Structure 1
């Protein structure tokens, strides 16, 4: 499998070239996502003057933008040239995101945060528009029998790149004046955007299998009428809502409450990515032996434990606890990301897959949007509370609730395969 992915393009069949392109195209996308996202996004927002509520709002935007996938799914028949539209939407997304680096030069200081949130919103609406088309295209491109292993290897490669980028990004910010450091990061991402556009053009333009339904309402009723799929999706959406109260704000807590410097935050997050990188490979191999929903039942309690482990700060050194937290989180999130993706492309009928993907993305997007907003609001309201509440209390209580959900409800709604 790894040999097939890494062979030079000229020696490949069309299908293998497509699999190779999906790996290579993801590398510049990963560079951009990790130099401008994650803890470095939080760092840039703090540089622009954002508070916890604004940071929570910004972190919620990618999930909220998932709602646009419903619109794309309704009109999927108009996007027969999926490669073209993936290219267009993806480039607009990345160009706009990179353009947020110009805000300190072009926008009055009092509007910096508002301008960022506005540009970030439009950028991720385009990203999610591309997402449903890309997922549909790649699902058709990757043979079902190797899907788990392929995405496990692909994600392992990308998270290796992500880990390296995050370490380099943190060092750039630490060793240079803050403003100059962000300029360097944005210049690197501008170059990566050009590379990504070239790779996106190399995707095969596979024919689109149309839905057998002609009515938009009947198209929507397919996933909504699939009780097994819908209950699992509603459960995962609720889990994400509660999870996102705490997990997306881990970087904010480390930077603004625990007062770690950029180096420690990026090192800790990089450790998480390295663990996630290896976990993708093993989750992918497990997925060839066990049902996707069974593995999801195993992954969700791990995420809950990661949140609970913040309470260890009461007894152990903070850095040690945060490293352990992010190692456990890497295993759990790695499993969830891979398995949720395989759930929506593997447990769904091919002709109706875009609508299934869109419904999953819309429901998890709504709750994923509410979670960071609620988390940012809670941190804002509790900014005068005892240190333990702000530093680990919110994460600990969130983890306890997630664990109850994962162990009490998860086995019922995630049992069996379709």
Structure 2
């Protein structure tokens, strides 16, 4: 709807009903997109590439390609204004998602070497058009979602999409294992089927994406003239501090994370089912903690959440180095369970809070260049980290360092490793160090409502204890303990 004032066409704001309908469609589109991403990325992409004969360096490159593609968000900003943001998102997403059809079909007819090149090309093609779509999507969502609901809405959306990802990952892992039992020696067919399903689900999501209402774009705010210089975010001192934090954090995380699956397959000799199950565990824990982080970010500040979740993730990277001493041991799987629990908790906090703080520090109505700079910087540094991580992993292959406890006698010698690092362990240690370094940059970012770390921990514990208190009322627990005490006294008296 448009109305005319003083001879100029003025866009009319969306009604409350249109906004609410749009938010529900955003959730539906997010679930369809997440379904596609689950079946065509993550552990399934790594396993698919390994089945086609990919090297470790190529695994890192596959992780880096979507990150490098985010650079295309910058030229894509010039499309906003001449074209509607919704049109850009729908067309770019549709063109990019078509690449998964080629990735699904080519391995059925072509040699592995050709299929691997097609898979790499499909990842690059889809990532490029996804970046073009994201540039408009970020600006679109900044104007559609009410600012006071950022934390609650995006945590709810993330919770629903994470729940769907958990279910699909489990079903996908079970399907791959069953396929290999049904068709021994033809495991590629399972991944081809998953990618074909991802292609269909991705196009199903376009139905919802095309129906989301678009708020008016104010001329002079995010018009093409506003993009004559993309240096605006760099002139904002506080946003520049945020960029330094997020860039270093993205580099640290992507330096190691692409090699988690490789580490479990090559060094821990784990089955795909167990690898997927651990990933699902992390996603489930993240799902549980998302509303907790969402309430905390709305009540206090996103920076406060990051001060807890960032070091937790960095510590989980260090824990990877203890899964072999120097070989897998009895505590390897329990330790991995603890690692993925910590990763789930911390990633939920970092993902939500980092996204929210970038939105919060971006000027309303002129958010596109700020969010594009934020995403592009993190993506480019993350992509460089993935490639560099692969190079470092190859360079350090065969190197080891450790401390051992030795007890010997004239007839016997006992040697117990206390610490032992080899190959990918060095990547995890370096990434952890960079993660802790990013906290220094975070401390310089200014955000309203920031709390002291100790108070935030207390509030976090209260949020965690809340569902426990609801399940076990205080009076009921008190009565139970009273009965238990009387019973123990009677046993002693008897």
Question: Structure 1 length as normaliser, TM-score?
Answer: 0.91
Unaligned 5+ residue runs, structure 1? 1-11
- Superposed structure 1 runs of 4+ greater than 6 Å apart: none
Bigger drift between 334-343 and 50-59 goes to 334-343
Contact 2:104 2:193 (8 Å CA) reproduced: no
Instruction: Give the match for residue 63 of structure 2.
Output: 59
Instruction: Give the match for residue 416 of structure 1.
Output: 447
Structure with bigger RCO (C-alpha 8 Å, 6+ apart): 1
Q: Give the number of aligned pairs.
A: 404
Q: Are 2:281 and 1:271 equivalent residues in the alignment?
A: yes
Instruction: Give the match for residue 394 of structure 1.
Output: 427
Instruction: Give the match for residue 256 of structure 2.
Output: 246
Contact 2:399 2:423 (8 Å CA) reproduced: yes
**In 1, Cα distance between the equivalents of 2:321 and 2:113?**
37
* Displacement after TM superposition at 1:197 (Å): 1.7
**In 2, Cα distance between the equivalents of 1:356 and 1:417?**
19
**In 2, Cα distance between the equivalents of 1:222 and 1:107?**
48
Instruction: Give the match for residue 207 of structure 2.
Output: 198
**In 2, Cα distance between the equivalents of 1:142 and 1:330?**
26
Instruction: Give the match for residue 114 of structure 1.
Output: 117
Instruction: Give the match for residue 5 of structure 1.
Output: none
Q: Deviations over 1:196-215 (max 9, x none)?
A: 12111211132223444765
Higher helix share: 1
**In 1, Cα distance between the equivalents of 2:121 and 2:360?**
35
Q: Please tell me whether Structure 1 or Structure 2 has the larger radius of gyration of its CA atoms.
A: 2
Contact 1:53 1:376 (8 Å CA) reproduced: yes
Contact 1:258 1:391 (8 Å CA) reproduced: no
Task: Give 1:280's match in structure 2, choosing from 290, 313, 326.
Answer: 290
Bigger drift between 239-248 and 110-119 goes to 110-119
**In 2, Cα distance between the equivalents of 1:316 and 1:78?**
61
Unaligned 5+ residue runs, structure 2? 1-15, 181-186, 401-419, 450-494
* Displacement after TM superposition at 1:295 (Å): 2.1
Q: Are 2:360 and 1:330 equivalent residues in the alignment?
A: no
**In 2, Cα distance between the equivalents of 1:289 and 1:113?**
48
Instruction: Give the match for residue 175 of structure 1.
Output: 178
* Displacement after TM superposition at 1:402 (Å): 1.8
Contact 1:272 1:330 (8 Å CA) reproduced: yes
Change (3 A) 1:200 1:17: same
Change (3 A) 1:362 1:391: closer
Task: Give 1:144's match in structure 2, choosing from 143, 147, 150.
Answer: 147
Change (3 A) 1:199 1:165: same
Q: What is the correspondence of 1:203-222 to structure 2 with a 5 Å cutoff?
A: 203-212=212-221, 215=225, 219-222=229-232
Bigger drift between 97-106 and 334-343 goes to 97-106
Q: Deviations over 1:322-367 (max 9, x none)?
A: 1111111111111121122212222111232100011111111110
Task: Give 1:24's match in structure 2, choosing from 24, 28, 32.
Answer: 28
Q: Are 2:130 and 1:99 equivalent residues in the alignment?
A: no
* Displacement after TM superposition at 1:121 (Å): 0.8
Contact 1:297 1:414 (8 Å CA) reproduced: no
* Displacement after TM superposition at 1:189 (Å): 1.6
* Displacement after TM superposition at 1:137 (Å): 1.2
* Displacement after TM superposition at 1:65 (Å): 0.7
**In 2, Cα distance between the equivalents of 1:218 and 1:339?**
30
Task: Give 1:126's match in structure 2, choosing from 102, 124, 129.
Answer: 129
**In 2, Cα distance between the equivalents of 1:214 and 1:100?**
36
Q: CA RMSD in A?
A: 2.1
Q: Deviations over 1:169-228 (max 9, x none)?
A: 111111112123113312322331232121112111322234447656654232110011
Q: Deviations over 1:74-133 (max 9, x none)?
A: 342223x21121111111222213431123135443233222222211210101111121
Contact 1:304 1:403 (8 Å CA) reproduced: yes
**In 2, Cα distance between the equivalents of 1:390 and 1:256?**
11
Contact 2:166 2:284 (8 Å CA) reproduced: yes
Q: Are 2:375 and 1:365 equivalent residues in the alignment?
A: no
| Secondary structure in structure 2 of the residue aligned to 1:264 | helix
Bigger drift between 298-307 and 202-211 goes to 202-211
Change (3 A) 1:30 1:66: same
**In 2, Cα distance between the equivalents of 1:220 and 1:295?**
29
Q: Deviations over 1:367-407 (max 9, x none)?
A: 0110110111122223323484135343134213422442x
Instruction: Give the match for residue 4 of structure 1.
Output: none
* Displacement after TM superposition at 1:162 (Å): 0.6
Contact 2:81 2:224 (8 Å CA) reproduced: no
Task: Give 1:349's match in structure 2, choosing from 363, 369, 375.
Answer: 363
**In 2, Cα distance between the equivalents of 1:20 and 1:372?**
35
Bigger drift between 266-275 and 331-340 goes to 331-340
Contact 2:35 2:198 (8 Å CA) reproduced: yes
| Secondary structure in structure 2 of the residue aligned to 1:78 | coil
